[in-house]
Amino acid sequence: MSYLYDLHTHSDCSDGQLSPTELVTLAKSNKVDVLALTDHDTIAGLAEAKAAAGDDVHIINGIELSSVWNGRNIHVVGLNINVESETLTSALEEQAQSRLDRAKMIAERLEKTGIKGVWEGVQCYAKDGNIGRPHFAQYLVDTDCVTSFAQAFKRYLGTGKIGDVKQQWPELEKVISWINEAGGVAVLAHPDKYDMTRTKLYNLLQDFVDAGGRGIEIVSGKQEAGVTCKLIRAALDFSLLVSCGSDFHSPEGGWQLPGKMSDIPQGYKAVWDEWDLPLKG
Ligand code: AMP
Ligand code: MN
Ligand code: MN
Ligand code: MN
């Protein structure tokens, strides 16, 4: 029997809704065998996830790093990272500062449009975790500025909108090097979400591979079979290891639940082929 892998999920240490413990419990009830917690720019939830895992689910130390490539915001998942890596630890301090600086800029920009109390509001939602755009979306919904998260991104937070501040992020190349230095495998996250032409995606993949990136998510959440085929082709063209994940954030809001992404086609060299996982009993 093969394992069910979900190698891209979020907790409330970044912009997910569930605590790491609640996430692990839900993943277990969905029969996930191998789960990576990949919070945005933080590893704060990993110890709790491991403590909650028991024998039923194997936890992979993960992270989803924000970066910029040719003016675009690109996400790179790092899997099986050594959380004690000094390079990674100090890089994450920088990353947290970038996130905080960006959050302040987003708040200022939104307040300039006449929306009040944004900064205090998002801090409440993020508690001690990293502030992300979904926290702003929540504030905009709760203060009736918009009716949904989708509308918040469409009007205020999405690409090219007033709250889209991305110049703080490090270059793609740099975040890949952090992952490699921490002994992990760098995986291009949700390649279909960047709205790129095939030529652009292949340019990105060439730079990704040149910088030491080794994997690609050929399945992210629910996706059409045609997209999976296109991404398998890309994986083969660049000799990349395949990966898959739900990108689960919350039981509400239309996110795929842990372990509930589209099926991953078998027979391709996968990130987990290199891991020494306990055999399924
Ligand atoms: P950030 O990491 O702060 O740049 O925020 C990016 C996050 O916003 C993504 O990881 C998603 O969780 C969320 N997001 C992006 N676009 C949308 C959208 N159109 N609707 C809802 N959530 C979104
Ligand atoms: Mn997110
Ligand atoms: Mn992402
Ligand atoms: Mn994600």
Among 250, 276, 246, 274, smallest CA distance to 4 is for 246
Which of 10, 14, 15 maximizes ligand 1 atoms within 8 Å of its Cβ, making it the mutation to test the pocket?
A: 15
Share of the chain above pLDDT 70, in %: 98
Residue 198 CB neighbours (<10 A): 10
Among 227, 155, 148, 161, smallest CA distance to 191 is for 227
Q: Is 247 in the pocket of ligand 1 (CB under 6 A)?
A: no
Q: What pLDDT sits at residue 10? A: 98
- CA dihedral for 191, 245, 10, 171, sign (positive or negative): negative
Whether the pLDDT of residue 281 is over 60: the answer is: no
pTM of the model: 0.96
Ligand 3 midpoint to CA 66 (Å): 8
Average pLDDT over residues 240-257: 96
How confident is the model over 30-74, as pLDDT tens digits?
999 999 999 999 999 999 999 999 989 999 999 999 999 999 999
- Burial of 78 by CB count in 10 Å (0-12 exposed, 13-18 middle, 19+ buried)? buried
Ligand 2 midpoint to CA 249 (Å): 7
pLDDT top residue among 127 and 267: 267
Whether the pLDDT of residue 280 is over 70: the answer is: no
Phi-psi region of 160 (alpha: psi -120 to 50; beta: other; left: phi over 0): left
Q: Is 150 in the pocket of ligand 1 (CB under 6 A)?
A: yes
Q: What is the DSSP letter of 153?
A: I
Q: Which helix (H) or strand (E) holds 58?
A: strand 58-69
Q: Are 40 and 78 a contacting pair, CB within 8 Å?
A: no
Ligand 2 midpoint to CA 22 (Å): 17
Whether the pLDDT of residue 119 is over 80: the answer is: yes
Whether the pLDDT of residue 263 is over 90: the answer is: no
Q: Is 75 in the pocket of ligand 1 (CB under 6 A)?
A: no
